[in-house]
C-alpha cells in the first residue's frame, strides 16, 4: 500500500519568488512518484515523474523535484514563480511500474501574488 | 503525444437520466484506463480500473450497477452514470496509460450537474 501527504493545502508566493510544494510519501515497495498540475475545470497535466532513475527530476515549465529516500520526500520546486503557475498541484505515488493504481495527495493550491 | 480526449466536457440533465461519458486515447492504445471522481476542493478518488476486453475493477464503495464501465476497444472507455441523482453531480476525470511503466495521462474532465 502507498500514501501521499502534501503539507499545506494553500501556498502563496510573490511573483519571482521560490516555489516549494512539499510532498512526503509512504510505500511498501520502491515507489514511482509524480507531480501533476490542474487548472480550473480541466484535467491533470503531468509536470514530472520519478521512476527510479535520477533522483533530481526536471519537468516542464521550469519545475523540478528531488527524490530523497531517507526523508521519504519528493518536494516540488521552481526558482522563480510566474503568474501562470497559479493552479492546483497534486503529488501522486504508485507502487512501482506497470499499470499500478495511483494514489493522489489532497492537492496544494498555489497562489502567485503580483 | 499521449493525448486523452474526454467528452462531453459538461453535462446538465434532470434527475433520473442516464449519462454516458467517453474517454478516448487519440494517439496510443490503452489496455488500461482509469476513472476518477473529484469533489470540489478535493483530490481525485479512483472509482474503477477499466481493462479492455474484461470487466472493470471497482474500488470499495463504488456501485458497479450505478457506474457502468465499458472498455470495448483499445482506444475507448465509457462511463455511464445510470439514473443519475443530484448527489452524483461531480467532476469526472479519466486517464489512460500509454504503455508499461508509463505515467497516466488525463482527459480534461466532465462536469456533471444533475438537477
Of the pLDDT bands very low, low, confident and very high (cuts 50, 70, 90), residue B43 is confident
* Chain A nearest C-alpha distance from B32 (Å): 7
- For residue B60, the surrounding DSSP H or E stretch is none
Cβ–Cβ under 8 Å, residues B83 and B16: yes
The reported pLDDT for the residue numbered A98 is: 57
Q: In the numeric block, which cell numbers belong to residue A37? A: 498540475
Q: Is A51 on the interface with B (CB under 8 A)?
A: yes
Non-local CB neighbours of B101 within 8 Å, separated by 6+ positions: A32, A51, A97, A98
**How far is residue A64's CA from residue B59's CA, in Å, rounded to a whole number?**
32
Grid-cell match 480550473, residue found: A40
Closest in B42, B100, B107 to A97, CB measured: B100
**How far is residue B70's CA from residue B113's CA, in Å, rounded to a whole number?**
22
Cβ–Cβ under 8 Å, residues A25 and A81: no
Over the stretch A36-90, which tens digit does the pLDDT of each residue have?
Answer: 999 988 888 999 999 877 899 999 999 999 999 999 999 999 999 999 999 999 9
Interface A–B counts its CB contacts (< 8 A) at 50
pLDDT at B74 over 60: yes
Q: In the numeric block, which cell numbers belong to residue B50? A: 477499466
**Best interface-test mutation with B: which of A1, A9, A30, A43 has the largest number of B CBs within 10 A?**
A43
pLDDT at A96 over 70: no
Over the stretch B21-30, which tens digit does the pLDDT of each residue have?
Answer: 999 999 999 8
Contacting residues of B for A102, CB less than 8 Å apart: 34, 46, 104
* A85-89, B8-12, B80-84, B104-108: least confidently modelled range: B104-108
Amino acid at each position: 500500500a502507498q500514501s501521499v501527504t502534501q503539507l499545506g493545502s494553500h501556498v502563496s508566493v510573490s511573483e519571482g519568488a521560490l516555489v516549494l510544494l512539499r510532498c512526503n510519501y509512504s510505500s511498501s515497495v520502491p515507489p514511482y512518484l509524480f507531480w501533476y498540475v490542474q487548472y480550473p475545470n480541466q484535467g491533470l497535466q503531468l509536470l514530472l515523474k520519478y521512476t527510479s532513475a535520477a533522483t533530481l527530476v526536471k519537468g516542464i515549465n521550469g519545475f523540478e523535484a528531488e527524490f530523497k529516500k531517507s526523508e521519504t520526500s519528493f518536494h516540488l520546486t521552481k526558482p522563480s514563480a510566474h503568474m501562470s503557475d497559479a493552479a492546483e498541484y497534486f503529488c501522486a505515488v504508485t507502487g512501482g511500474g506497470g499499470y499500478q493504481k495511483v494514489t493522489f495527495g489532497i492537492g496544494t493550491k498555489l497562489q502567485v501574488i503580483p | 503525444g499521449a493525448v486523452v480526449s474526454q467528452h462531453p466536457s459538461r453535462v446538465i440533465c434532470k434527475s433520473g437520466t442516464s449519462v454516458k461519458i467517453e474517454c478516448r486515447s487519440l494517439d496510443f492504445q490503452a489496455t488500461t484506463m482509469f476513472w476518477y471522481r473529484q469533489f470540489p476542493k478535493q483530490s481525485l478518488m479512483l472509482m474503477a480500473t477499466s481493462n479492455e476486453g474484461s470487466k472493470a475493477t471497482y474500488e470499495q464503495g463504488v456501485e458497479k450497477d450505478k457506474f457502468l464501465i465499458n472498455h470495448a476497444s483499445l482506444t475507448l472507455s465509457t462511463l455511464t452514470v445510470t439514473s443519475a441523482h443530484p448527489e452524483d453531480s461531480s467532476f469526472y476525470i479519466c486517464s489512460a496509460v500509454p504503455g508499461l511503466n508509463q505515467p497516466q495521462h488525463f482527459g480534461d474532465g466532465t462536469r456533471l450537474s444533475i438537477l
